[in-house]
Chain A
Amino acid sequence: MSTRTARPKNRLRLNPGPVAEPFDDLDRLTPNALVQWWVRRLRRVLKSAAADLPFYARRFAQAGFYPADFRGLADLQRVPILTKADLLAAQAHGGSHRVGIEQSAGGAQARTILSLSSGTSGTTYITHTARWRRLQGLASSRAHWWAGLRPGRPMILSAPAWHSYAAIQPFIVERFGLDCVVVSGTYLPRFADRIVDALLRFRPRFVTMFLPMVFAILSAALRQGIEGRRLFAGVDALLVTGAPITPGMRAHLQDLTRVGRVAELAGSSENLLAVDCARGAGLHLVPDTCYAQVLDPRSLQPVADGVRGTIVHSCTVPAGSLYLRYRGGDMGVMDHAPCPCGLPSPRIQLLGREEDSFSLGSQTLLPFDVQLALEEEVPELAGVACVITRESLAQGRLRLLLLAPQRSAATLLDGARIRLARRFAVPVEIATAPHLPLRFKGVPPILSESEADAAT
């Protein structure tokens, strides 16, 4: 990009290394320089939170944490962890969506909109001020640049207005000087025909879409006699959000769409943001506005690279709703090793929700693990719609309901059963269904037998 979004201080060291197309100088920091940059930002935001936001001032005091003592990232361990339950409790106590984490939300120039949190555990409200939009918009512009967005063809807005991403996409469109395409309706499968029309009419080079909607629009196009490769003709990059994608799912999407680059954007409405490395070596944390750690879910101490844990993230800019050490319920792994692409930020992978964890044999797993195992053991089953039944897990076995493959079904399923049983060291049963909703493609849901029956 021609215009910088971040200007690291001169004393921070730039990496003369291999970042092929840096967004700006922040992409060229050394990993150590990025740590220094984060420390400065976090110190400032912690001080601001203590000074301006009674919610945090109270919590910091109760924990004996004083922002002036913040010297390095290790000091974050002394900052109390914030959860959605804390926010819901504050919301209920105050009888308002404003819980005291909102920076400058009431000012005359705030230009405030609210978005809603995702999930089933209750709705919290995220405040977006004009400053928030500018700062988060710049961070997201970086993320989209990494994912392959370039000035040129139009961009289809692809987030429903209740979601925080909707407050970001218009900024990105303006930042890259793109034409803006608004599809009528909302992003639910029954509107897929309308998105198909938009893709065919405006031929974007870059498409961002929630993963389940990708399958819905492919299906809608097929009903019109349009194959995926024709629907996505001219698209250089497909950025999928909303679910972790396995290598097999990525290959499946590439096969269906013939798009050269299928990238994943992961994050949360509460400010976490990471996007696929151009070299395909994981998702780089977008450093402008967030810093993330992976902690042991019980001890809440940082885990080593590659060890699965709960993700805790902090906003590094004091604007809008400020989430500091927010434990949003995502499980993941972190990798701080130098990346061949040259970007300084660590790589993170979100694997699923803590509440979806289950025990199988001696292991604690996520649905992602089952999806991954299925495609690794039987590559022909990559991308298949699948359900895990809850009752089987309670009985220490794995029962999957799969959309019947078109070819060699019996052989494939028998092979999958044997190999999964060996891999997980538990009994495995695989049944087929003539129909499963497209939303089950990607990461298999855990459903009761009756819920699964109702869905088929």
Chain B
Amino acid sequence: MRLPPRSPGGAAAQPRPADYPFYRSRLGPDGRPIAWGLPDLEAFAVAHPGDPFAGRVLPGVAAPVALQLEATGEPPVWVALDAGELNRWAAVLARIWRRWGCAHGETIAFFDYGSSPLVLLASGSYIAYLRRGAAERLGLTTVCNDGVASMASRMVGILQTVKPTMLILRRDLVAPLAAALDDAHLSLAGRLRWAAVCEPEGATTRAEVDTLAARLGLPLRRILRCDGAFLLAGDCPDCGLFHVDPGYRMQALAAGEVAVTTVFAHLCPAIGYNIGSAEIVGPKCPLEPRAQRIACG
């Protein structure tokens, strides 16, 4: 197996999965890497403490951008991207926001860490080498509060003063925000086009999102996030499933799980990342008839 083709202008010689220590350690009989998840990456990192990327970046290759994976424990594992990959990942995020609805000149607010890809990919102001962030592609203004509960009242101030029409917040911050909104006698109903809830890894279950939505008093969108595979997907307001960008290839695994390969990731390839229990659903969503879809959570 060879890695997904590079865009024009990329390196001439394509490395194979076997060239990467992490994948070399887990090649199946067919020569393809066996699907893996974060625990596999963490285990490799523990066994190879000198490699911040846990065997997924070729030795000696420069990493213009290195991101520490929030969802990994000790030692934290890092991923790497070049400028082109960063821009393609940002395009994925822009397509999610466009599907959920936004208009040029509106503002999107984040109640999350600045290190979250959802924030970083929004604007070239937040990370180096990103030419066109998702917000810049859509003509949006961004504002980011810090993703800690003690900043909930400041988030309320942002909602009152900046009046964003879109909000992305971490699941663990919904309760503090709701309490701060209560204190301020402020209702979110009618203030936002949409709000979306995210996790450091995976997606909040639909049942929990429903509970959180009731607490906040507005519908919440879901985000599927796996930074180790550069995966971002948003659920669909129409069919309720996650629409998966063409930048990812999906593969059903035997145990009712789904693996994702990220087409645009070359510097730090993501081949066969197991996102866990999920089901690939055929296209034909009325909103995006050609979108590949998965059901999870």
Instruction: Give A residues with C-beta under 8 Å from B.
Output: 91, 95-97, 106, 108, 111-116, 123, 125, 128, 133, 154, 157, 159-162, 166-167, 169-171, 173-174, 178-186, 188, 193-194, 197-198, 201-202
Selected from A97, A178, A181, A202, the residue in CB contact (under 8 A) with B161 is A97
Which residues of chain B are near A182, meaning CB under 8 Å? Answer: 65-68, 115, 120, 127
Find residues 184-236 in chain B having any chain A CB closer than 8 Å to their own CB. none
Structural contact, B142 and A157, CB atoms closer than 8 A: no
Residue B136 at the A interface, CB < 8 A? yes
Known: A97-B162, A113-B141. Contact between A179 and B127, CB under 8 A?
no
Does more than half of chain B's interface fall in helix, strand or loop, or is it mixed?
loop
B50-79 to A contact mask, C-beta < 8 Å, 1/0: 001000000000111111111000111010
Known: A182-B68, A186-B115, A202-B66. Contact between A170 and B128, CB under 8 A?
yes
Residue B5 at the A interface, CB < 8 A? no
Structural contact, B114 and A198, CB atoms closer than 8 A: no
List the B residue with the shortest CB-CB distance to A96: B161
Structural contact, B76 and A114, CB atoms closer than 8 A: no
List the B residue with the shortest CB-CB distance to A193: B74
Known: A123-B157, A179-B65, A197-B76. Contact between A113 and B52, CB under 8 A?
no
Which residues of chain B are near A91, meaning CB under 8 Å? Answer: 161
List the A residue with the shortest CB-CB distance to B157: A123
A-B contact pairs, 22 of them (CB 8 A): A95-B161, A96-B162, A106-B105, A111-B125, A113-B126, A113-B141, A115-B143, A123-B154, A154-B66, A157-B127, A161-B113, A161-B126, A162-B144, A171-B128, A179-B66, A182-B120, A182-B127, A184-B67, A184-B69, A184-B70, A194-B76, A202-B66
Tell me how far the C-beta of B70 lies from the nearest C-beta in chain A, rounded to whole angstroms: 4
Selected from A96, A170, A193, the residue in CB contact (under 8 A) with B127 is A170
Structural contact, B146 and A180, CB atoms closer than 8 A: no
Which residues of chain B are near A201, meaning CB under 8 Å? Answer: 52, 78
Tell me how far the C-beta of B78 lies from the nearest C-beta in chain A, rounded to whole angstroms: 7
CA distance A202 to B64 in the complex (A): 12
CA distance A193 to B113 in the complex (A): 16
9 tightest A-B CB contacts, nearest first: A161-B114, A184-B70, A173-B128, A161-B144, A170-B128, A180-B128, A114-B143, A201-B52, A184-B68
CA distance A167 to B143 in the complex (A): 11
Structural contact, A185 and B66, CB atoms closer than 8 A: no
Residue B22 at the A interface, CB < 8 A? no
Tell me how far the C-beta of B219 lies from the nearest C-beta in chain A, rounded to whole angstroms: 25
Residue B123 at the A interface, CB < 8 A? yes
Known: A106-B105, A111-B136. Contact between A161 and B119, CB under 8 A?
yes
Which residues of chain A are near B115, meaning CB under 8 Å? Answer: 182-186
Residue B287 at the A interface, CB < 8 A? no
Residue B269 at the A interface, CB < 8 A? no
Residue B129 at the A interface, CB < 8 A? yes
Tell me how far the C-beta of A295 lies from the nearest C-beta in chain B, rounded to whole angstroms: 30
Selected from A125, A169, A180, A186, the residue in CB contact (under 8 A) with B113 is A186
Instruction: Give B residues with C-beta under 8 Å from A.
Output: 52, 62-70, 74-76, 78, 104-105, 107, 110, 113-115, 119-120, 123-130, 135-136, 139, 141-148, 154, 157-158, 161-163
List the A residue with the shortest CB-CB distance to B160: A95
Structural contact, A185 and B65, CB atoms closer than 8 A: no
Structural contact, B141 and A114, CB atoms closer than 8 A: yes
Which residues of chain B are near A115, meaning CB under 8 Å? Answer: 143
Which residues of chain A are near B162, meaning CB under 8 Å? Answer: 96-97, 114, 125
Structural contact, B125 and A170, CB atoms closer than 8 A: yes
Tell me how far the C-beta of A180 lies from the nearest C-beta in chain B, rounded to whole angstroms: 4
CA distance A294 to B127 in the complex (A): 35
List the B residue with the shortest CB-CB distance to A201: B52
Which residues of chain B are near A167, meaning CB under 8 Å? Answer: 125-126
Structural contact, B127 and A180, CB atoms closer than 8 A: yes
Tell me how far the C-beta of B202 lies from the nearest C-beta in chain A, rounded to whole angstroms: 16
Tell me how far the C-beta of B142 lies from the nearest C-beta in chain A, rounded to whole angstroms: 5
Question: Which interface residue of B74, B146, B158, B163 has the most chain A CB atoms within 10 A?
Answer: B146
CA distance A310 to B52 in the complex (A): 47
Tell me how far the C-beta of A91 lies from the nearest C-beta in chain B, rounded to whole angstroms: 6
Which residues of chain B are near A173, meaning CB under 8 Å? Answer: 128-129
Structural contact, A186 and B148, CB atoms closer than 8 A: yes
CA distance A181 to B127 in the complex (A): 9
CA distance A161 to B127 in the complex (A): 10
Known: A114-B142, A181-B66, A186-B115. Contact between A174 and B76, CB under 8 A?
no
CA distance A91 to B136 in the complex (A): 26
Which residues of chain A are near B64, meaning CB under 8 Å? Answer: 179-180
Question: Which interface residue of A112, A173, A194, A198 has the most chain B CB atoms within 10 A?
Answer: A112
Which residues of chain B are near A186, meaning CB under 8 Å? Answer: 113-115, 146-148
Structural contact, B139 and A108, CB atoms closer than 8 A: yes
Which residues of chain B are near A202, meaning CB under 8 Å? Answer: 52, 66
Tell me how far the C-beta of B120 lies from the nearest C-beta in chain A, rounded to whole angstroms: 7
CA distance A96 to B145 in the complex (A): 17
CA distance A167 to B133 in the complex (A): 13
CA distance A184 to B79 in the complex (A): 11
Structural contact, B163 and A96, CB atoms closer than 8 A: yes
Tell me how far the C-beta of A284 lies from the nearest C-beta in chain B, rounded to whole angstroms: 26
Structural contact, A170 and B146, CB atoms closer than 8 A: no
CA distance A188 to B147 in the complex (A): 11
Known: A108-B139, A123-B154. Contact between A197 and B161, CB under 8 A?
no
List the A residue with the shortest CB-CB distance to B50: A201
List the A residue with the shortest CB-CB distance to B78: A201
* 6 new A-B contacts at CB < 8 Å, known A114-B162, A202-B66: A154-B66, A157-B127, A162-B146, A166-B126, A174-B128, A182-B67
Question: Which interface residue of A133, A159, A160, A169 has the most chain B CB atoms within 10 A?
Answer: A160
CA distance A167 to B127 in the complex (A): 8
Selected from B69, B124, B141, the residue in CB contact (under 8 A) with A170 is B124
Tell me how far the C-beta of A12 lies from the nearest C-beta in chain B, rounded to whole angstroms: 32
Tell me how far the C-beta of A189 lies from the nearest C-beta in chain B, rounded to whole angstroms: 12
Which residues of chain A are near B69, meaning CB under 8 Å? Answer: 184
Which residues of chain A are near B157, meaning CB under 8 Å? Answer: 123
Which residues of chain A are near B52, meaning CB under 8 Å? Answer: 201-202
Selected from A161, A178, A184, the residue in CB contact (under 8 A) with B110 is A161
Selected from B105, B146, B161, the residue in CB contact (under 8 A) with A125 is B161
List the B residue with the shortest CB-CB distance to A197: B76
Which residues of chain B are near A185, meaning CB under 8 Å? Answer: 70, 113, 115
Structural contact, A161 and B146, CB atoms closer than 8 A: yes
